[in-house]
Structure 1
Amino acid sequence: MADLSDVSSALVSLIAGIAYPNGTGQPSIVGNPVLVYGGWPNPVQLIADLKANKIHVSVFPTIERIVDTAASDWTVPTAPVNTITLTLSGQAVTVGGTISTPQNAALVVDSKAYVYAVQGTDTLASIATALAALVAVDQTATAAGAVVTIPNAKKISPRVGGQGTAQRETRRQERTFQISIWANCFDQRDPIAGKIDAALSNSFHLTLPDQVAALRYKSSRQDDDQQKERIYRRDLMYAVEYSTIATETDYQITVGVENITAGPSLDAQFPVKTIVE
């Protein structure tokens, strides 16, 4: 999930790319060294760097506005990839594919489920052996290599289930960031401030680890109150609207079980019935 630090880091990366379009191994767009970072400047370090003709760009979070607090439905961005296959031919099931975990290999035989959790040390033959051993508790089942044979089964349904990640949006917020450009003179501050502002105003989206957020210009101001100390500053206020996302690990359902119980008046005639799907 994306949080405040992720948004700040994404802004820092975006601004650093603006200041150094050819990479940090090459000169900045204004020639002077440009330091881009999240948070507020250390006053001692700031003064020392400005004296050395370095420029600071700080990214500091300010006010937050809640946009929506309604949780969305769970979704699965990427379906699980199952690498094991179970192929039915008559009374035999062949285990194929490649081994990976976590995965479940299952056989529903005559309305009863047999599920085996694949292990990292398994082979196709060992999976077949494990499935045959589970079925053999109730009826004849043998394994030869990667093939499970159940000669007396009336119905066989092979299934494979893997693991995936589900997510949902729990809230959406807008956070305004103060992007401050610090320099020792207005003629060093203004060129890079203008270039950063122009580039950000043309960047309508911000890529976060789990989503694409909206980026909007809010306002700007200029601060020359500390010019006696040779500190010139311009603040650019940009808002980022992004979601807080909850995630959980889910497994594909390979077997569904439904218990049906008759009411008290019919309980003696119709006991509990279990249906495997």
Structure 2
Amino acid sequence: MTDIAGVSTALAQAADAIIYPNGDSTASITGRRTIIRRGWITNDDYSGECSLQSGIDYVFVTALSGAFKPVACGLGMPWREISAIPATVSIETSGNSATVVFPAIGQASGIVGLHITPDEKGAIPARSVVGHVVTATDTPASVAAALATLIPGASSSGATVTIPHAASLHGAVGSYSDIARVTRRQQQLFNVSIWIGTWSARDDLGFAIDAGMSGDPFFPAPDGSMILVESAGSYDIDTMMQQGVWRRDLKFRCTFDTLQTDTAAQVLFTILNVDAPGDVSISLSDWPLNPL
């Protein structure tokens, strides 16, 4: 989710790419060492070992207090898919046993499910369904063991889970996706402030940042969403000329979304009981879950 920290980071990264077009290990466009960061100037930045007084230039990115404005967005807060995680695993059933199969090449992923038709002798409810979300640390044996723990009387051996009182088994696999929706859209003013040792370098750097940030108004945020960045004016501050510091503030109006994220899964069966370890939170069906 993007907030003022994410927008500040995106602006700082954009300024860094403009000031150091060939990478941070090369010379800046002014030929002077320039430090770009979020936040405001400190005493060390002004007079410390690595400071303006020792010939280092600074660019600070800050969100301006009181410069927030809500922006109307679409009603309903519809969910949209961000990325899909395909099912690369499979499960094979035979009688009252099921075997988990991982791909020979590539990462195993997906949801492994079993639909159980029990006999009348065991404690398994009719039409029971269990499922497990495959993670990066899983193996066929760990998936089989996870499924077995969800079923009364079941056991696992290697990649195979055996259910003594199952009259029949039906296996299925499915994918899941990361989803997001816009819960709020807003505008916020941000300040990109140049503190530099010569007026000519200030003009060169100020022009470069202003021009560079106007070429494409859409900036990627750290979470992958997009930020609309528009110029809101700039001005010079010459009150520190006697201390050898020239300053220019460039203001940018940034429009960005507050997102709510979740995980949605493909429905395997009508009713599901899913073991989702870790931080994976999924809902596989609109029906209530059926715990065993």
Q: Which residue of 100, 103, 106 maps to 2:111?
A: 103
- Percent identity over the alignment is 24
Q: Which residue of 2 aligns with 1:180?
A: 193
Aligned residue for 2:85, secondary structure, equals coil
- The 2-side partners of 1:59 and 1:13 are apart by 10
Q: Which residue of 115, 123, 146 maps to 2:140?
A: 123
- The 1-side partners of 2:33 and 2:205 are apart by 11
Q: Which residue of 2 aligns with 1:248?
A: 262
| TM-score (structure 1 length as normaliser) | 0.73
Q: Residues 83 and 100 of structure 1 are in contact (CA less than 8 Å); yes or no, is this contact kept in structure 2?
A: yes
Residues 129 and 212 (structure 1 numbering): CA distance in 2 closer, same or farther, change over 3 Å? closer
Deviation by residue 1:162-213 (Cα, 9 ceiling, x = unmatched) = 5543321111111211111112331221111111111111131111123121
Q: Residues 144 and 159 of structure 2 are in contact (CA less than 8 Å); yes or no, is this contact kept in structure 1?
A: no
| TM-score (structure 2 length as normaliser) | 0.70
Deviation by residue 1:21-55 (Cα, 9 ceiling, x = unmatched) = 12222111111111111111114522552332221
For structure 2, list consecutive stretches of 5 or more residues without a partner in the other structure: 119-125, 273-289
Q: Which residue of 1 aligns with 2:285?
A: none
Which range is displaced more, 76-85 or 210-219?
Answer: 76-85
Residues 224 and 129 (structure 1 numbering): CA distance in 2 closer, same or farther, change over 3 Å? closer
Q: Residues 86 and 110 of structure 2 are in contact (CA less than 8 Å); yes or no, is this contact kept in structure 1?
A: no
Q: Which residue of 226, 236, 256 maps to 1:212?
A: 226
Give the superposition deviation at 1:57.
Answer: 0.9
- The 1-side partners of 2:77 and 2:63 are apart by 26
For structure 1, list consecutive stretches of 5 or more residues without a partner in the other structure: 138-142, 259-275
Q: Which residue of 1 aligns with 2:184?
A: 171
Deviation by residue 1:213-272 (Cα, 9 ceiling, x = unmatched) = 1111111111112222332211111122111111124444322249xxxxxxxxxxxxxx
Residues 232 and 126 (structure 1 numbering): CA distance in 2 closer, same or farther, change over 3 Å? closer
- The 2-side partners of 1:144 and 1:12 are apart by 51
Which range is displaced more, 93-102 or 8-17?
Answer: 93-102
AA matched with 1:197:
D
Q: Residues 189 and 232 of structure 1 are in contact (CA less than 8 Å); yes or no, is this contact kept in structure 2?
A: yes
Q: Residues 95 and 128 of structure 1 are in contact (CA less than 8 Å); yes or no, is this contact kept in structure 2?
A: no
Matched, 1:72 2:89: no
- The 2-side partners of 1:121 and 1:185 are apart by 59
Q: Which residue of 1 aligns with 2:277?
A: none
Q: Which residue of 50, 56, 59 maps to 2:58?
A: 56
Residues 2 and 130 (structure 1 numbering): CA distance in 2 closer, same or farther, change over 3 Å? closer
Tell which structure's C-alpha radius of gyration is larger. Answer: 1
AA matched with 1:72:
M
Residues 244 and 31 (structure 1 numbering): CA distance in 2 closer, same or farther, change over 3 Å? same
Residues 158 and 180 (structure 1 numbering): CA distance in 2 closer, same or farther, change over 3 Å? same
Residues 17 and 122 (structure 1 numbering): CA distance in 2 closer, same or farther, change over 3 Å? closer
Q: Which residue of 1 aligns with 2:30?
A: 30
Aligned residue for 2:68, secondary structure, equals strand
AA matched with 1:174:
Q
Count matched residues. Answer: 255
- The 2-side partners of 1:144 and 1:30 are apart by 64
Provide the aligned C-alpha RMSD in A.
Answer: 4.0
